[in-house]
Amino acid sequence: LQEESLALYRESGSKGMVVRASTNLALVVFAQGELDAARALLNEALQLAQALDAKYDIASVLQVLGLIDIVENKPEARARILASLRMRVELGEILSQTSPLIGLAGLALREGKAQYAAQLLGVVDMTLKALNAVPELESKNFHAQTLA
């Protein structure tokens, strides 16, 4: 279904929707363990988002690229996730700031900094509670996979 929507948006010429559909498909492919395919989709989405100066989409793509970098133990992970967080702060997107914080917690765990990871997750928990936000089950599973 994600592949079909991406094809339809490409046909229609809706570049913004191509960015979002590519990012969504990359998340599915990433969850299936196909990291190279996910990275290719995200690199395409990033180029398009940058050309459109779509900061929210750029932040989303950088976030997922950072998560892939964490899984692959690449040093770019921190810079990408922090760039995503900075952009989300600049945009005033409080709820969406929680995803990069979870990514940073995953990175901290991989570095053996469990206390720092717990502090970051505490901030996420407080933010979600303050906003009365309940993450979707898929989102929880995806983030749990990142922290593993």
pLDDT in tens, 77-131: 999 999 999 999 999 989 899 999 999 998 999 999 999 999 999 999 899 889 8
For residue 135, the model assigns a pLDDT of: 67
For residue 146, the model assigns a pLDDT of: 60
Domain with 139, as residue range(s), is: 2-147
For residue 133, the model assigns a pLDDT of: 83
Residue 132, sorted as left (phi over 0), alpha (psi -120 to 50) or beta, turns out to be left
Closest CA to 55 of 20, 82, 91: 91
pLDDT in tens, 11-56: 888 899 999 999 999 999 998 999 999 999 999 999 999 999 999 9
pLDDT in tens, 98-108: 999 999 998 99
Q: Per the structure, how many domains does the chain have?
A: 1
Work out the burial of residue 76: count CB atoms within 10 Å of its CB; fewer than 13 is exposed, 13-18 middle, 19 or more buried.
middle
List the CATH number of the domain containing 108. 1.25.40.10
